[in-house]
């Protein structure tokens, strides 16, 4: 869960960071685009465009306007002046203004400036800014010497709106000084008269004159216009620009160009992030792949090579930042390598144990078979005359060896069925005190076990579990036989029944030789053989495995504790049946001759 949360948080933050980063880059590119468009537009329509930007950049606080230093410098370089007028007509901010301009304006003066764009010999651009609560009036002015010259020449050299032929030479000399030219056009835009140097335009379209005056930056000449109201003719003075570059600018084409630049920048940025991400996350994946290859080859001790270890860990053993995200995965690889290594060793141990077990089983089967074959050869040869008593002994020996072999085969079959959960069984309610007591009495009544004292401790109340009596008895038989066979004579066997919460507990204990830790740890392994090969069926290495499987078949569990030279205790836990009746436990049905049996009630 910790790794899942961290991965989710990591990739979410990374995704958000990339979005924020790309958004910032996009906004920066958009800002650059708008700034560039605004600058190019201002160049085309300077100084009218400049006035709009000055109005945006000017700060007004406490009825005082402050023009930025950048604009102050440009105004001085271009010999322009600016004034900011408030609602009262007072000038609250100015820059590079001539001394003849007033500090306040009347209503008539402001209306005149707005209508004529002219004041006291200055050509004036004006704009009303309504950004703030109160509107402000911005004026940008400059001396238009070409306009004054054009008006003077019109008054001196015109006749009925045209250039007088007598004064044409004088006008040409005047124009020669400024390398200018004058075209006189009629109301249709046709050039009716032209003089001076420079390229002569034959006619003007309806918008030509307007564009030349409103967007002077697009042309390589300055155009000044004077309209004669009487004749309707228009005088156009064209003079070369001094040090100013012509701006051939189309907003649409410029936007396309800048969008392409922005797309290239974003594409490059995206490819860069993709390559960086790929490199960052491919390195750990390649590392994990090499780990898996080595583990696939069984090299569990080489989780990391020395070179890879230096990549992943610092000198102090801390995971480097690049691999920090995968520290749980790295830890899991180490843990998996250790488990696989342990499993490999355990498999080798089990294989060795299985071989030893098969050798023992072969010996177990060979011994009774040898006996049976020997007696069979003797009987078949006819060389001996057997008494009735000898024949009975031979038959008994052959039967016992056959029973022993049958028991071995039954154990193999039973172990296989339990492993594959295919053992036929039927669980029915059974009273546990009675069930355990009956099984223990079977051993107490066995004449061959007269030297083994048996003890039984029951509960005061009945305990009911679901059990298959046949397999339950087989389970306890294996545990009791284990205590009898692997302990010296005189070792007492105790069986007890108790209750703990919703579970019933059956305990089989002895006070015999006990077992070492290795034997306890592997006691329930299917192929573990803790006894010699000349013992009976229960020594074949399947008895304890079968006992545990039968306990699990009943929904229970089994554990063992043992102390060397002090004895062994088996505890079996079974779930109680839902409804329990509490009364004194009745006596067991299997009474028999109780030679070495002692019963206590707890």
Within-domain flag for 566: yes
Whether residues 117 and 199 fall in one domain: no
| The pLDDT of residue 388 | 87
- The CA distances from residue 374 to 366, 386, 564, in Å, are 12, 15, 41
Here the CATH number for the domain that contains residue 154 is: 3.30.450
Here the CATH number for the domain that contains residue 476 is: 3.30.565.10
Whether residues 433 and 563 fall in one domain: yes
Whether residues 156 and 130 fall in one domain: no
Within-domain flag for 351: no
Of 142, 172, 204, the last residue of a domain is 142
Whether residues 118 and 149 fall in one domain: no
Out of 92-101, 193-202, 239-248, 489-498, give the one with best mean pLDDT.
Answer: 489-498
Whether residues 160 and 137 fall in one domain: no
Within-domain flag for 316: no
Which residue range(s) make up the domain with 73? 2-142
**Helix, strand, coil shares of the chain as percentages rounded to 5?**
50, 20, 30
Domain count, the chain: 3
Whether residues 128 and 152 fall in one domain: no
Out of 26-30, 44-48, 159-163, 562-566, give the one with best mean pLDDT.
Answer: 562-566
Within-domain flag for 405: no
Of 249, 279, 307, the last residue of a domain is 249
pLDDT band at 244 (very low <50, low <70, confident <90, very high): very low
Whether residues 90 and 232 fall in one domain: no
Whether residues 488 and 578 fall in one domain: yes
pLDDT band at 302 (very low <50, low <70, confident <90, very high): low
The Cα 414–Cα 411 span in angstroms is 5
The Cα 213–Cα 528 span in angstroms is 108
Whether residues 138 and 156 fall in one domain: no
| The pLDDT of residue 205 | 79
Answer whether residue 446 shows pLDDT above 50: yes
Answer whether residue 353 shows pLDDT above 80: no
| The pLDDT of residue 242 | 59
Whether residues 116 and 36 fall in one domain: yes
Tokens of 58: 């000017």
Within-domain flag for 299: no
The mean pLDDT of 204-210, rounded to a whole number, is 75
pTM: 0.40
pLDDT band at 445 (very low <50, low <70, confident <90, very high): confident
306-324 in b/e burial notation, b at 16+ Cβ within 10 A?
A: eeeeeebeeeeeeeeeebe
| The pLDDT of residue 15 | 75
DSSP state of 203: B
Answer whether residue 585 shows pLDDT above 60: no
Of 222, 249, 276, the last residue of a domain is 249
Whether residues 51 and 167 fall in one domain: no
- The CA distances from residue 373 to 391, 399, 402, 541, in Å, are 15, 13, 11, 25
| The pLDDT of residue 194 | 86
473-500 in b/e burial notation, b at 16+ Cβ within 10 A?
A: bbbbbbbbbbbbebbeeebbbbbbbbee
pLDDT band at 7 (very low <50, low <70, confident <90, very high): low
The Cα 406–Cα 491 span in angstroms is 29
Out of 37-41, 51-55, 566-570, give the one with best mean pLDDT.
Answer: 566-570
Residue 412 neighbours by CB under 8 Å, 6+ apart: 542
Answer whether residue 370 shows pLDDT above 60: yes
Whether residues 110 and 137 fall in one domain: yes
| The pLDDT of residue 507 | 96
| The pLDDT of residue 574 | 96
Which residues face 195 on adjacent strands? Answer: 182
- The CA distances from residue 313 to 48, 292, 307, 323, 458, in Å, are 66, 19, 10, 9, 62
Within-domain flag for 240: yes
């Amino acid at each position: 869960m910790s790794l899942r949360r961290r991965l989710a948080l990591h990739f979410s933050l990374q995704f958000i960071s990339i979005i924020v980063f790309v958004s910032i880059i996009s906004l920066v590119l958009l800002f650059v685009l708008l700034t560039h468009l605004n600058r190019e537009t201002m160049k085309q329509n300077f100084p009218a465009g400049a006035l709009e930007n000055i109005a945006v950049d000017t700060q007004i606080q406490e009825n005082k306007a402050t023009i930025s230093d950048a604009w102050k410098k440009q105004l001085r370089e271009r010999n322009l002046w600016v004034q900011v007028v408030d609602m009262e007509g007072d000038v609250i901010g100015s820059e590079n203004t001539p001394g003849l301009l007033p500090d306040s304006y009347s209503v008539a003066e402001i209306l005149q400036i707005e209508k004529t764009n002219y004041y006291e010999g200055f050509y004036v651009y004006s704009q009303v800014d309504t950004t703030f609560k109160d509107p402000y009036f911005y004026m940008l002015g400059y001396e238009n010497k070409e306009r004054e010259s054009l008006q003077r020449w019109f008054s001196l050299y015109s006749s009925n709106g045209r250039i007088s032929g007598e004064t044409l030479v004088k006008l040409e000399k005047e124009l020669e000084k400024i390398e200018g030219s004058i075209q006189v056009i009629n109301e249709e835009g046709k050039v009716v008269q032209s003089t001076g140097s420079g390229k002569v335009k034959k006619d003007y379209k309806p918008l030509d004159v307007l564009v030349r005056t409103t967007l002077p930056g697009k042309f390589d000449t300055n155009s000044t216009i004077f309209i004669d109201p009487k004749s309707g003719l228009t005088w156009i003075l064209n003079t070369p620009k001094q040090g100013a570059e012509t701006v051939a600018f189309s907003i649409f084409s410029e936007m396309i160009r800048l969008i392409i630049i922005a797309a290239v920048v974003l594409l490059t940025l995206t490819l860069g992030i993709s390559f960086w991400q790929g490199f960052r996350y491919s390195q750990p994946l390649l590392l994990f792949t090499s780990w898996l290859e080595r583990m696939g080859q069984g090299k569990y001790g080489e989780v990391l090579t020395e070179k890879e270890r230096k990549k992943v860990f610092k000198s102090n053993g801390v995971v480097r930042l690049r691999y920090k995200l995968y520290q749980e995965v790295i830890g899991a690889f180490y843990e998996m390598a250790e488990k696989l290594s342990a499993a490999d060793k355990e498999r080798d141990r089990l294989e060795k144990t299985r071989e030893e077990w098969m050798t023992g089983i072969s010996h177990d089967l060979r011994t009774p078979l040898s006996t049976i074959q020997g007696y069979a050869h003797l009987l078949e040869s006819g060389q001996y005359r057997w008494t009735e008593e000898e024949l009975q002994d031979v038959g008994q020996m052959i039967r016992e060896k056959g029973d022993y072999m049958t028991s071995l085969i039954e154990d193999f079959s039973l172990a296989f069925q339990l492993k594959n959960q295919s053992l036929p069984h039927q669980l029915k309610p059974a009273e546990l005190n009675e069930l355990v007591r009956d099984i223990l009495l079977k051993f107490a009544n066995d004449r061959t076990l007269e030297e083994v004292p048996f003890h039984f401790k029951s509960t005061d109340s009945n305990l009911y579990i679901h059990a298959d009596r046949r397999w339950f008895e087989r389970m306890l038989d294996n545990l009791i036989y284990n205590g009898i066979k692997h302990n010296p004579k005189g070792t007492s066997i105790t069986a007890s029944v108790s209750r703990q919460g919703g579970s019933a507990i059956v305990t089989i204990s002895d006070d015999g030789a006990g077992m070492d830790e290795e034997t306890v740890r592997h006691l329930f392994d299917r192929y573990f053989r803790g006894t010699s090969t000349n013992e009976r069926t229960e020594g074949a290495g399947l008895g304890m495995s079968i006992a545990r499987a039968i306990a699990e078949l009943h929904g229970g569990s089994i554990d063992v504790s043992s102390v060397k030279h002090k004895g062994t205790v088996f505890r079996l836990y079974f779930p109680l049946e839902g409804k329990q009746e509490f009364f004194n436990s009745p006596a067991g049905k299997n009474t028999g001759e109780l030679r070495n049996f002692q019963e206590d009630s707890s």
